Amino acid sequence: GRPFLQDHAPTLAKIRPPTLVLAADEDIICDPKKLTRLEDLIGSDACSVQQVPCGHFFGEKGTTLCDIGHPHILQFFTEERSD
């Protein structure tokens, strides 16, 4: 099939609400290198892509993407933004 990001680039570029993407660097389902393209498509003013050491959902010793990514999530929801 065709690449999702390529097919939906115009729609993704219209996203304006602040967006956080956690890119799990060991993910074999969602390629983390491709996820970094979202920041370019959406714009760095509206999108932040953060790499975290994890698989698609699980990391070392049963930790989850949410456990590992929580510092990024907390920062995302508490930082001041100018609209």
Task: Give residue 54's pLDDT band: very low, low, confident or very high (50, 70, 90).
Answer: very high
Q: Cβ(23)–Cβ(34) under 8 Å? A: no
For the entire predicted model, the pTM comes to: 0.74
Phi, psi of 56, deg, nearest 5: -55, -40
Phi, psi of 66, deg, nearest 5: -65, -40
Task: Give residue 51's pLDDT band: very low, low, confident or very high (50, 70, 90).
Answer: very high
Residue 50: its pLDDT value, please? 94
